[in-house]
Amino acid sequence: MHPASSLSRAAVAIPAVAAVLLLTTAPAVANVALTPVSTDPYTDAQAQHQSEVEPDTYAFGNTIVSAFQVGRVSGGGSSNIGWARSGDRGATWTHGFLPGITTNGGGTFGQASDAAVAFDAKHNVWLISSLGISGSTVNVLTSRSTDGGLTWSNPVTTATGANDKNWIVCDNTSTSPFFGNCYTEYDITSAGDSIRMKTSTNGGASWGSALAPGGSHTGLGGQPVVLPNGHVLVPYLSLSDTIRSFRSTNGGASWNSTVLVSSISHHDANGGLREEALPSAEADAAGTVYVSWSDCRFRSGCPSNDVVLAKSTSETTWAAPTRVPIDATTSTVDHFTPGVGVDPATAGSSARIGLTYYYYPTASCTAATCVLDAGFISSTNGGSSWSGATMLAGPMNLSWIPNTSQGRMYGDYISTSVLSGGNAYPVLPVATAPTGSTLHLGMSVPTGGLAVTGGTNTAAVGAAAAAPAVRNGTVRTTAR
């Protein structure tokens, strides 16, 4: 790792509430043991406690950092942003809560939302991007850690206004011409979800001008990934019900027009669950980008979703999506909210992929009868074939997770990080039955991680991949 940046900050890093969590595991509710890594400590009246939702993860070397909402507020956001961190490849974990954002952490915002994690190897800085919410004001914020994710600074203001669904990534390839650049994506809700990008060259201490990609670019959930040559690709969910992407080839000085990744065919989950076909994206060591989302194109009549995976064939072209073979297309299962991870040291036909997702065993359920599970599947050949699926958590009743203005919510997205040569680590919202009005939804990890194994279950490609988009709902125009 490189020395930390010597740039000064107005906010001094302060200790967060943190404690090493013992490796005592929660009772195995499915096929794996889970280790709890965080719970909601707050009691403010605005939120539904105890709840933690919507985790992102990032891994670099032996360190894994996750960030998530803590204390979900029905109308949007949460009581604060929490974090969980392991410095020994997932063996032990510490956790805490970010300072300087909401009033719970000594800040001024009423709520916080949409946490995303990155690491800047050039400046040796971990970054958590989030939204600070006060009424109609929604600012994009960046919290920084210069001690490996153990303590965090008060946030840097990255963008002001009425914004949504931020993501963050850094260029960690030492031979890249833009090594040390970090990129934040967000959309402006007051401008019809018009997408913007900002670049930092000093470890997130300051951010450049807001730039838009060329052409039409309204959408949500643009997830930037950096290629080994320093180019940046940003797949996102467009408001026209397609997955599209755009790129920069000059370190974020400008962003090209968007191109089509794929149409979408999506079944909105039953039971009033909040979920959407937001993409999850990662790149391998050779620069191939993998994008996954939930899609019903392979199931006649669109009764439920599979997880599909599209791979880039160049920086501007994409292969048709393939179906991840979790189960048969005739099954009753509805799969959604995938989080894809790729071993950063692998590529192409040897790429090691871990994919976590949530699902209903029976798609045709109601708010009273739907049960929610989490699963995992993996590939060791770039997604040409897959292992058998593993149930990670569940069953969970929908009444066990917080309610929002857009439905019951465990998160609009989840994440999986695959360690170089090692196991996969998703950080998962896992619920047990409430005690009265008090929820019990906290963050857990599979104890010791999940082995990334190959298998003979073949991914499917069908003519339906070119079918027009159909759905039984609409794309939301806000994700916070």
Q: Within a domain: residue 167?
A: yes
Residue 29 lies in a domain: no
The overall pTM is greater than 0.85: yes
- 373 within a domain of the structure (yes/no): yes
- 375-383: average pLDDT: 98
Please tell me the predicted confidence (pLDDT) of residue 459.
Answer: 74
Q: Is residue 61 part of a domain?
A: no
Q: Which pairing describes strands 470-471 and 265-266: parallel, antiparallel, or unpaired?
A: parallel
Structural domain span for residue 329: 159-471
466: domain CATH number is 2.120.10
Q: What is the mean pLDDT of residues 128-133?
A: 98
Number of domains in the chain: 1
Say if 68 falls within a structural domain: no
Which burial class, exposed, middle or buried, applies to 209 when counting CB atoms under 10 A from its CB (0-12, 13-18, 19+)? exposed
CA distances from 317 to 220, 259, 310, 344 (A): 20, 8, 10, 22
* pLDDT tens track for 419-455: 999 999 999 999 999 999 999 999 999 999 999 998 9
Reference 119, options 147, 90, 160, 153; nearest CA is 147
Residue 135 lies in a domain: no
Question: How does pLDDT run across 221-260, given as a tens digit for each residue?
Answer: 999 999 999 999 999 999 999 999 999 999 999 999 999 9
Residue predicted with more confidence, 467 or 176: 176
Q: Which residue has the tokens 């009691």?
A: 43
Task: Tell me, yes or no, whether 460 lies in a domain.
Answer: yes
Work out the average pLDDT over 300-322.
97
Query: Given this model, what pLDDT does residue 477 score?
Result: 57
Compute the distance between CA of residue 475 and CA of residue 359 in angstroms, rounded to an integer. Answer: 20
pLDDT of residue 413: 97
343 domain-assigned: yes
Q: Confidence band (pLDDT; 50, 70, 90) for 282?
A: very high
Name the pairing type of β-strands 289-295 and 280-283: antiparallel
